[in-house]
Structure 1
Amino acid sequence: MFHTIRCARSKLNANIPRQNYHDDELPQGLIPLDPLPIENTEPTLPTVLLQARNNIRKFENCVLLTRVGGFYELYFEHADEFGPLLNLKVAQRKTGKKDSPVYVSMAGFPFFQLDRYLKILVQDLHRYVAIAEEFKNDAVAQSKSGGLLNDRKVTRVITPGTLIDESFMDPFTNNYVLAVHAADNPQTDMETLGTDESAPVRLQQPSMTLGLAWMDLSTGHFFTQTTTLSSLPSFLARIGPREIVLDEGFKGDEDHAIFNVLAEDQHIVTYALATEFKPMKDWSPMLESPIFPSKAEEFTDEEVAAGSILIQYVEEKLQGSNMKLQPPSRQLDMMGIDKNTMRALEIKKTMRDDQFTGSLLHTIRRMTTKGGARLLETWLSSPSTSLDIINSRLDLVSHMLENADLRERICILLGRSHDSHRLLQKFAFGRGDPDDLLALSATIQATQDLVTTLLSSTTPSSACIHALATRIDLEGPLALASRIQEAIDEEGVSQKHLIETAEEEEIRALANAVAVDIQQ
């Protein structure tokens, strides 16, 4: 066997050609080794900080506010960047192992000051904010999490266009978020047109059809419309959206003409990844009433596509919260005032200072209710062209001018009511409290007295008033108001407010004491 192996080696070596090398041709130095795997050097952090770090990574475009007991806190780079902007003291918290401690930046404020800091972040700095609330774990959840008493999950992402009931919202104007869908969407065009050289030119056509959908989450109003690229600036000037949502496909086409339009007035633009197309029949779960098939046929494909983008975007920001909107309506028989005319007429802002003070709306806005102020702005920006509606409004104005006592009585009753649209939306989102219930009950009672007053008018021109009053059905609302009055102890609610005020003072004193300790 040994002889066989030797013979095999001899034959193998005979087939290998010989090569001669000089010493300087041989490779020099150490043989390179493969790099060692990088060890995970991320320090061990407490559960609260780990949850915060994971939420920061998940919501990378947002400022994260984490609820910890009676405070909302910022951590890591968010504390370093936004703590000074919010005038908060940034502290370095020592954590990790004893032999290798880690210092984590943190800042915080009492929970009852949330709206104050949201105003700075959302309205002034135009940042998106993710709110991570604190939830008690039940026994099963504690066992699964190793005894963790609380869990913190992001319950909502707040953007300029998705405000609901924040105290810093302007009650006299609508807070619209608007979605735009282009018939020639850049993403779909590149897929269908391939290397067609005319595609980029076609995307710049002023007559390009755009589908628009906009809503105000604070009132539940939902609208759609079809327009063109050349008419878009005037349309935006009329409705004044706080935030504009574009399909993710626009990110790859920064030369699209729509960006020139949006840059004129420095609109806040957000990109939304619409994972699927939602037809109108799938909108029903988030609407107060279904859309009848005959009505659904009136909407264009572009409007439905824009509505689909908008609904998915809002659902993502609300993180699963219930949403109830009014069925979408199309703005027909409206005068399309162009942008330059609105500026020349100074409807919303003055030409000289570009300010609301001194404008037409500022001059004539003497409304008793906040909802009336919002409606007046809509009527001035988009006047009706329907003769029936115009004549009906003129009849009401004439009747009120002729009956001073009736006018004064109506103003008193309207003053007893509250902002019913925004009240109802708070309950739709599960954010209502006993004070809101009492306000709703008072509004229903005031409305009942208002209907009685309108029907008591017997002048020859009172037909228009009676027609207005007979449209109101209060049978169900009156029963609700009675139940609210029976169920809620107003005195008890007042006492609760006193206790909450005292607790807020204690937390404020504690926060001040902590800030002093940090400075020392």
Structure 2
Amino acid sequence: MGVKEGKNTLTPAMQQYTKIKEQYADCLLLFRMGDFYELFFEDAVLAAPILDIALTTRDKGKEDSVPLCGFPYHAAASYINKLVEKGFKVALCEQVEDPRFAKGVVKREVVRVITAGLQIDPESLAPGENNFLAALNMIDGIIGLAFLDLSTGEFYISALKNWDALLCQFSSLQFRELLLPDSSWARRITLSFGGRFSFVEREFFDYQEAYSLMKEKFPDEEIRQYFDHNGATLTAAGALLRYVVKTQRILPSHLHRPTWYTPEDYLFLDEGAKRNLELFASLAGGKEGSLFALLNVTKTAMGQRRLRWWLNYPLKNVEKIRERLNAVKELKEQPLLREELRRLLAEIYDLERIAGRISLEAANGRDLVALKNSLFQLPAVKALMERFSSPLLCALASAIDPLENIASLLERALIENPPLTLKEGGLIKEGYDASLDELLSLIRDGKGWIAALEEKERKRTGISSLKIGFNNVFGYYIEVTKANVHLVPPDYIRKQTLVNGERYINEELKGYEEKVLQAEVLRKEREYDLF
């Protein structure tokens, strides 16, 4: 049965699914159902063999049964990556309403679309490689190129004079996804582009829309000057931002100020030259034995990506080459300082990609702990860098902001080993927030309150073996053996009959149970709000 077939016979949840799916017809829709993401209809049929999971049906055995497959939400990253690697776009549809307060079907909406060029999850990215999303437009013979790495915020713009220059960039930058206007010249380009491409409406490349969006994001005058006589570049950059906003539902704050990228500033190496020089792979085909493998003793993922860029784009400017070599020379001649710097850098996580996930509202507690631990290293890194004298190293030292106030805030707020999920509590330290502390106290002190009530009820009823317990099915209960049932007071309400006794509840215990359960819910909500 197709999505549109038998629509009137579908359950309310499936009607909601089909309505959302119509808005994202070019995507596989991952529909959140409790602790699972599920796919239905044609999406399920396509995805099941790729993900190597069972294809089943709703209303099994009926003629109009709905094909479905699914996987746990906590394992989503690996499954999504498999789908994206096969060339699919994936729309993530979440529950955006607390089921406890929902009237009818829980409200759901797509919170993010994931494509090859929009990956931000660490499990889906190579730590030492960029993941560039590019856009291309042509106006009056000028080819405008813009590309960004959503995971790190790096953003580059350029204007190319001919197709040969463009093909050089395709081979060097290895874009993961290329956005093109739906036009005849753009379709011809796809024959030369080996990566994935996405055709978008020509309105994405509208000049006025691009100018307004770039002005909103980058208000300084210098940026706008780049675009005064480069309409092709402006519209390519604008299309990139519009695509990001449409798919991520947010204009990310971590995107860098666009860097004007001029191919003429670098020594171009075609694929043949790179292969023969064994820059990134040996002639035998593996990474081992390549120049990059030999040089790559970097201590951070950020350093790996920078080294890869430098090897891909050797400088031609003599002054910049000398500046870089002077810095290398000083690091070589200061082995003790160099090794101490390497020791500090080894404790720093991938700050660029952590900042990206924070900006895109996709970070978890462990990301912020990694950020905190990295920030704690920065004062020592800055102090050590200030002991060097080469201009490049001095400039890098002066640019470091230790962000000590942020590190202090994270240290006060977050426990050291938070869970991956954000809505189950266990994120915030006791002592950080007074209202959270009250809720934690109520939950923690429950055992003492139960013991006191148990003793009180034993004295009141004369039943020395009376005990108060809890299970996930019936909640709190007062348990009395069969031999003492005749002593049970009239305010006890029977909850469960056992072989050797009866279980009851009274108003006092019922009131406490509601209070504790509500406190647990409020605690989780408060922790999520604080995070």
Q: Is the shorter-chain TM-score for this pair beyond 0.5, marking a shared fold?
A: yes
Q: Hey, what does 1:204 align to over in structure 2?
A: none
Q: Hey, what does 2:273 align to over in structure 1?
A: 341
Q: Hey, what does 1:485 align to over in structure 2?
A: 411
* Structure 2 counterparts to residues 457-468 of structure 1, below 5 A: 465-468=393-396
Cα gap change, 1:494 to 1:218, in 2 (>3 Å): closer
Q: Hey, what does 1:52 align to over in structure 2?
A: 17
Amino acid at match of 2:275: R
Q: Hey, what does 2:295 align to over in structure 1?
A: 364
Q: Hey, what does 2:377 align to over in structure 1?
A: 446
Distance 1:209 1:335 in 2: 22
Deviation, structure 1 residue 493: 6.2
Q: Hey, what does 2:110 align to over in structure 1?
A: 154
1:195-216, Cα deviation, whole Å (9 max, x unpaired): xxxxxxxxxxxxx531100000
Deviation, structure 1 residue 43: 4.3
**Contact 2:244/2:251 (8 A) holds in 1:** no
Structure of higher CA gyration radius: 1
* Structure 2 counterparts to residues 295-444 of structure 1, below 5 A: 295-297=225-227, 300-320=230-250, 322-332=252-262, 333-351=265-283, 353=285, 355-444=286-375
1:378-410, Cα deviation, whole Å (9 max, x unpaired): 111112222232112111111111121111101
Matched, 1:231 2:165: yes
Deviation, structure 1 residue 417: 0.9
* Structure 2 counterparts to residues 193-204 of structure 1, below 5 A: none
Distance 1:224 1:494 in 2: 36
Q: Hey, what does 1:282 align to over in structure 2?
A: 213
**Contact 1:347/1:361 (8 A) holds in 2:** yes
SS in structure 2 at match of 1:177? strand
Q: Hey, what does 2:96 align to over in structure 1?
A: 135
Count of paired positions:
417
TM-score w.r.t. structure 1 length? Answer: 0.73
Amino acid at match of 2:128: F
Deviation, structure 1 residue 361: 2.0
Cα gap change, 1:330 to 1:372, in 2 (>3 Å): same
* Structure 2 counterparts to residues 73-92 of structure 1, below 5 A: 73-92=38-57
What fraction of aligned residue pairs are identical, expressed as a percent?
A: 25
Matched, 1:268 2:196: yes
Unaligned runs of 5+ in 1: 1-39, 185-207, 501-520
- Which residue, out of 188, 198, 213, partners 2:146? 213
- Which residue, out of 57, 64, 72, partners 2:37? 72
Cα RMSD for the two superposed structures: 3.1
**Contact 1:46/1:95 (8 A) holds in 2:** no
Distance 1:137 1:464 in 2: 53
Q: Hey, what does 1:107 align to over in structure 2?
A: 69
Distance 1:469 1:367 in 2: 18
**Contact 2:57/2:68 (8 A) holds in 1:** yes
* Structure 2 counterparts to residues 118-197 of structure 1, below 5 A: 118-123=80-85, 125-136=86-97, 147-183=103-139
Distance 1:48 1:494 in 2: 28
**Contact 2:13/2:105 (8 A) holds in 1:** no
Cα gap change, 1:392 to 1:61, in 2 (>3 Å): same
Cα gap change, 1:298 to 1:365, in 2 (>3 Å): farther
Amino acid at match of 1:300: N
TM-score w.r.t. structure 2 length? Answer: 0.72
Amino acid at match of 1:217: L
Cα gap change, 1:120 to 1:455, in 2 (>3 Å): same
Unaligned runs of 5+ in 2: 427-531
Cα gap change, 1:294 to 1:55, in 2 (>3 Å): closer
Q: Bigger shift: 442-451 or 40-49?
A: 40-49
Q: Which has the higher contact order (CA 8 A, sep 6+)?
A: 1
